[in-house]
Amino acid sequence: MELHQLELAELAEGLRKKHFSAVELTQALSPRLEAAQGVMNAFISIDSEAALQQAQSADQRRAQGESSPLLGIPLAHKDIFCTRGVRTTCGSKMLSNFVSPYDATVVRRLQEAGTVSLGKLNMDEFAMGSSNETSYFGPVRNPWNLGCVPGGSSGGSAAAVAARLIPAATGTDTGGSIRQPAAFCGITGLKPTYGRVSRYGMIAFASSLDQGGPMARSAADCALLMDAMAGHDPLDSTSHPQGGGRFSAALGRSLQGLRVGVPAEFFGAGLDPEVAQAVETAIQWFAAQGAEIHPVHLPNNAHAVSTYYVLAPAEASSNLSRFDGVRYTHRSAAPKDLQELYLQSRYEGFGAEVRRRILVGTYVLSAGYYDAYYRKAQQVRALIREDFRRAFAEVDVIMGPTTPTPAFALGAKSADPVSMYLADIYTIAVNLAGIPALSLPCGFSKEGLPIGLQIMGDYFADELLLGVAAAYQKDTDWHRRAPAWEEQ
Amino acid sequence: MSMTWEVVIGLEVHVQLNTRSKIFCACSTAFGAEPNAHTCPVCLAMPGSLPVLNAAAVDKAIAFGLAVGAELNHRSVFARKNYFYPDLPKGYQISQYEIPIVGSGHLDVLLPNGEEKRVGITRAHLEEDAGKSLHDAYPGESGIDLNRAGTPLLEIVSEPDMRSAVEAVAYLKKLHALVRYLDISDGNMQEGSFRCDANVSLRRPGAPFGTRAEVKNLNSFRFLEKAIGYEILRQQDILESGGKIVQETRLFDANLGETRSMRSKEEANDYRYFPDPDLLPLQLDAERIEQVRKSLPELPDARKARFMEQYGLPAYDAAVLTAQRELADYYEAVATGQDAKLAANWIMGDLLGALNKAGLEIETCPVPAQELQTLLARIADQTVSGKIAKEIFEILFQEGDSVDAIIDARGLRQITDNTAIAAMIDEIIAKNPQQTAEYRSGKEKLFGFFVGQVMKVSQGKANPDQVNALLREKLQAPAKE
Amino acid sequence: MEAEIVKRIAHLSRIALPEEELTQVAGQLERIFALVAEMQAVPTEGIEPMAHPLDLQQPLRADQLRPETPSREELLASAPRAQDGLFLVPKVIE
Ligand SMILES: [Mg+2]
Ligand SMILES: [Zn+2]
């Protein structure tokens, strides 16, 4: 088997047993990145030379007796994570020349664990999108069908992992941005409990919803990444003091007696029958392993999208004010005065979707509208969280589809922002509540597109979710199927 | 006409807290560094950077709250105030809006007429300072220096309780003294550590509040006084000619002594305050508050009471001497082991007078407390007379050196040798037979003439008590024979 | 959505809004607010607004200076215009 076909855990073992070195591994993967770029456009920056240096240092560390499981493991970061000395664009023209003077905590932690960063992954501009079509650096294509979107906003991450360019990637999830592309590309992605992964150096979209997480082929691989990524960060006030954990040690678990909640609200109108079929079959598999299946109700999920499109733009409108043309962003040519500098730099630097969301956010926070929109949405948010509280008093996990349909065609929804927003109908409530959820592959459509099963858990149930998913992946091989993009 | 208007004044004071590091990052707050030398990803608002609150800023806010008898909010919330300005790197200022850390309290202020007035404090909240724009160095451009961005501020908002410029100045001085007592700010007004905005309106006595103008950037007590004076006249003119006051922000121009409108800069402003999602609610537990309470220094009002009790000073003296922490410290150093009332007289009269004349403050006083104390000791042990002491003080103030060195070098030691004084007197009586005869025949007014002669001969150094006694003795002696 | 409101919001957001884009932008905002309006009908009386998923309190940082920092050169490296350690912008009129 070629190195790129191995899963992260297998690569870790190969490195540990010195079947190959980190340098050899990096040298095996780098040419594939370049080759795939013209086809898939999964990367914004590729830095093979820096990667090679990191690989050399990983090999040195191993020679000196270090043996951390991620030592020498190649991966890539979503271009939302600041990387010192390497351009960090967040998928935007605004930051197309920004070289960060510091590393995000996630980047630093993974670096300290010995990973090798091969480059920066494409994404929807400022993580605002569900198809990766809003990137200033062009859309990413789905390796299962190059005419389809990979999902978003972590579309580059999902596509690169699915295409076996890299064994793992980081992603971020504000309303489904890890899970939805994971589902569309047939990989496994975890949105952790809010506060377990530091947001320091992760360019903020909506601070109270954003959470970084791992994207890889299997839940076991995600757990290995979480071991390094998660943990308290004194630089992030919203980082949980008990955020860390030994995720990979919590994997081997029995499904006997596991209480699985199935919300009717996730199986209603709008759900593609093939997706429904695959997800129901997966849930039946859990029942067959001894899990108890219970109906649960999440009545306020119906309000999740509308609530989200008040709160997320509100926070974003303020978070994105720092991109003002003064210190490190795009600046319009020869502005005649300060106001023109602001107006033009922000008009030129932001794409249409980002501008739209800033306008929405400014509106809902402005005098006279705050109570009717922002405050109201915060109250509905509390109701959505309450739904989950009630449900998790009865069940251990909740299962349902990650997305209403498999990946859609490029351009299919880009004309109508609202239809794009509704693609996240099953993922958004999780962010509003702050609970963890993962998506893992559970089947394919007749057209050969992957289908994702979403597993949600209560606060700090991240380990449980990974364990449940890993148990499923021991017995199924959906996650082992690779797209034949090279032949398309 | 002006008798029929009542002025209503409320002050908003921005106090830079004297923490080592900034409020949300670990950069230095030191003044006067190279541009942008004290910056980092957080205070430059680099993408992805996040704020973490400085414990010392919280403790200093608590100290202030305790000192003004305020309610401390056990849960306060940081909010974002959104607006675009080049010296505001995030495009929003982190401040506190709905729930500030310090709730309502008060300050008792001594007015120059000796009356005491209680001024309400509405609230005080924590926020971050902005950077600076430098306008002169580059043609057509401004330079942005963000060293100051993120310096912790306590914004202290008073009730509209003041009724004259004098009251406003007295309040501001008391507040200034308080933050320095508490050591929560260096209070340096030139460097912008203590900045004042005034809300000024007029009304007929008993009527509801009038429309107010907010006057910005009053960076000295004198500017505050002048700006209020100007506003009173301006608003009076408008009201008396049937006009209406526009609610607006005005800037005080120190050169012209005028306030001018900032051209409705506020017009389009809508700050869109909302809770900062990068920060969690700030909780103050009883233990933290107690810790701060224990570390509080003696506050001005308590110190005043102690001065009255311990040093037997009248209320007015005690109030003046405790108005500034440095002055009170100075007084206590001088009064130690000396006549406490005499020490108070010297400091309130000679010292403050000399400082005032020289345009100096107690912190820059050229006479160390130790020297003034020595001087009082030399009066007490009769080394010098009170009159000579004033001369020595003048020399100390102008030229420095030490009391004892001045006495020795200039031969100012008092003459207390009775034989020597008697010899001088004998010589003077011999030289002035005419006056002596007149005195002895009942013209007692001439006694002063003889004292003057002795002081002249002794160059003021003869002990006055001894001179008096010996003179009386010798002038009267022959008449009795 | 009224053109005047859209213009005001764009100005508050400091985003230029060319006249020829106004109708389209207003139409899209209208669609989004139609979606959002659904939420406004939810009964929420007495519900405490949820600002944050974490029921934690703000942590405090000791008042200490950072031992090291990126150099000023590195911090200003991406500046569109800088000189003498200052960021430059068109003259700020006070
Ligand atoms: Mg303020
Ligand atoms: Zn800083």
- Confidence at residue B327, expressed as pLDDT on a 0 to 100 scale: 94
Q: What is the pLDDT of residues A259-304, one digit of tens each?
A: 999 999 999 989 999 999 999 999 999 999 999 999 999 999 999 9
Q: What is the pLDDT of residues B95-129, one digit of tens each?
A: 999 999 999 999 999 898 888 899 999 999 999 99
Please give the torsion angle defined by the CA atoms of residues B284, B285, B289 and B294, in that order, rounded to the nearest 10 degrees: -150
Task: Tell me if B39 sits within 8 A of B55, measured CB to CB.
Answer: no
Report the candidate in B292, B304, B357, B354 with the shortest Cα–Cα distance to residue B332. Answer: B304
The CA-atom distances, in angstroms, between A473 and each of A118, A480, B364 are 27, 9, 77
| Euclidean distance between CA atoms A114 and A72, whole angstroms | 6
* Shortest Cα–Cα distance, A305 to chain B (Å): 20
Radius of gyration of chain A (CA): 21
Q: What is the pLDDT of residues A163-184, one digit of tens each?
A: 999 999 999 999 999 999 999 9
Report the candidate in B102, B92, B119, B234 with the shortest Cα–Cα distance to residue B173. Answer: B119
Instruction: Please check the confidence at residue B322 and state whether its pLDDT lies above 80.
Output: yes
Who's near A402: CB < 8 A, 6+ residues apart? A176, A179, A180, A182, A183, A426, A427, A439, A452, A453, A454
Q: What is the pLDDT of residues C43-85, one digit of tens each?
A: 999 999 999 998 899 999 999 998 888 999 999 999 999 999 9
- Confidence at residue B273, expressed as pLDDT on a 0 to 100 scale: 97
| A346, A359, A382 member nearest C47 (Cβ) | A382
- Complex confidence, ipTM: 0.97
CB contact under 8 A, C89 and B135: no
The pLDDT > 70 percentage for chain A reads 100
Mean pLDDT of chain B: 92
List chain C residues with CB under 8 Å of A329.
80
Task: Tell me if A247 sits within 8 A of A461, measured CB to CB.
Answer: no
Element (H, E) at B352: helix B352-358
List chain B residues with CB under 8 Å of C70.
40-41
Ligand minimally distant from the alpha carbon of residue B151: 2
pLDDT band (50, 70, 90) for residue C6? very high
Phi, psi of A400 (to 5 degrees): -175, -175
Contacts of C among chains (3+ CB pairs under 8 A): A, B
Q: What is the pLDDT of residues A370-416, one digit of tens each?
A: 999 999 999 999 999 999 999 999 999 999 999 999 999 999 998 88
Which stretches of A304-461 are DSSP H helices? 304-319, 338-349, 352-365, 376-392, 417-421, 428-433
Least confident span in A51-55, A223-227, B267-271, B445-449: B267-271
Q: What is the pLDDT of residues A105-139, one digit of tens each?
A: 999 999 999 999 999 999 999 999 999 999 999 99
pLDDT band (50, 70, 90) for residue A252? confident
Instruction: Please check the confidence at residue B231 and state whether its pLDDT lies above 60.
Output: yes
- Confidence at residue C93, expressed as pLDDT on a 0 to 100 scale: 76
- Confidence at residue B480, expressed as pLDDT on a 0 to 100 scale: 41
C-alpha B275 to ligand 2 mean position (Å): 22
Tell me which DSSP letter residue A384 carries: H
| A234, A331, A433 member nearest C80 (Cβ) | A331
Element (H, E) at A462: helix A462-475
Name the residues of A annotated as catalytic. 78, 153, 177
C-alpha A354 to ligand 2 mean position (Å): 28
C-alpha C52 to ligand 2 mean position (Å): 25
User: Which residues in A218-277 belong to E strands, given as ranges?
Assistant: 259-263
pTM of the entire predicted model: 0.91
- Confidence at residue B167, expressed as pLDDT on a 0 to 100 scale: 97
Instruction: Please check the confidence at residue B349 and state whether its pLDDT lies above 90.
Output: yes
CB contact under 8 A, B41 and C70: yes
* Shortest Cα–Cα distance, C66 to chain B (Å): 5
Radius of gyration of chain C (CA): 23
Phi, psi of B319 (to 5 degrees): -65, -45
Ligand minimally distant from the alpha carbon of residue B23: 2
Instruction: Please check the confidence at residue A54 and state whether its pLDDT lies above 50.
Output: yes
pLDDT band (50, 70, 90) for residue A193? very high
* pLDDT, mean of residues A307-319: 98
Residue B315 sits at the chain C interface (C-beta within 8 Å): no
Instruction: Please check the confidence at residue B263 and state whether its pLDDT lies above 80.
Output: no
The CA-atom distances, in angstroms, between B28 and each of B22, B31, B216 are 6, 9, 27
- Confidence at residue B4, expressed as pLDDT on a 0 to 100 scale: 86
Residue C61 sits at the chain A interface (C-beta within 8 Å): yes
* pLDDT, mean of residues B298-312: 93
Q: What is the pLDDT of residues B15-37, one digit of tens each?
A: 999 999 999 999 999 999 999 99
The CA-atom distances, in angstroms, between B411 and each of A118, B367, B391, B423 are 87, 21, 12, 19
Task: Tell me if B424 sits within 8 A of B462, measured CB to CB.
Answer: yes
Phi, psi of A259 (to 5 degrees): -90, 115
The token pair at A179 is 């899970």
Task: Tell me if B125 sits within 8 A of B79, measured CB to CB.
Answer: no
Ligand minimally distant from the alpha carbon of residue B26: 2
The pLDDT > 90 percentage for chain B reads 74
CB contact under 8 A, B48 and A370: no
Number of H-type helices and E-type strands within chain C = 3, 3
One DSSP character per residue, B359-387 reads T--GGG-SS-HHHHHHHHHHHHTTSS-HH
Task: Tell me if A402 sits within 8 A of A439, measured CB to CB.
Answer: yes
- Confidence at residue B479, expressed as pLDDT on a 0 to 100 scale: 45
Instruction: Please check the confidence at residue B478 and state whether its pLDDT lies above 80.
Output: no
Instruction: Please check the confidence at residue A444 and state whether its pLDDT lies above 80.
Output: yes
The token pair at A334 is 């020869």
CB contact under 8 A, A90 and B90: no
C-alpha A411 to ligand 2 mean position (Å): 43
C-alpha B74 to ligand 1 mean position (Å): 21
Q: What is the pLDDT of residues B397-433, one digit of tens each?
A: 999 889 999 988 888 888 888 888 889 999 999 999 8
Least confident span in A197-211, A219-233, B38-52, B290-304: B290-304
A18: left (phi over 0), alpha (psi -120 to 50) or beta: left
CB contact under 8 A, B144 and C72: no
| Euclidean distance between CA atoms C42 and A152, whole angstroms | 29
Task: Tell me if A80 sits within 8 A of A90, measured CB to CB.
Answer: yes
Q: What is the pLDDT of residues A332-345, one digit of tens each?
A: 998 999 999 999 99
List chain A residues with CB under 8 Å of B39.
none
SS3 of residue A309 by DSSP = helix
Q: What residue type is B86 in one-letter code?
A: P
Q: Which of B83, B97, B278, B279 to mutate to test the interface with A (most CBs of A within 10 A)?
A: B278
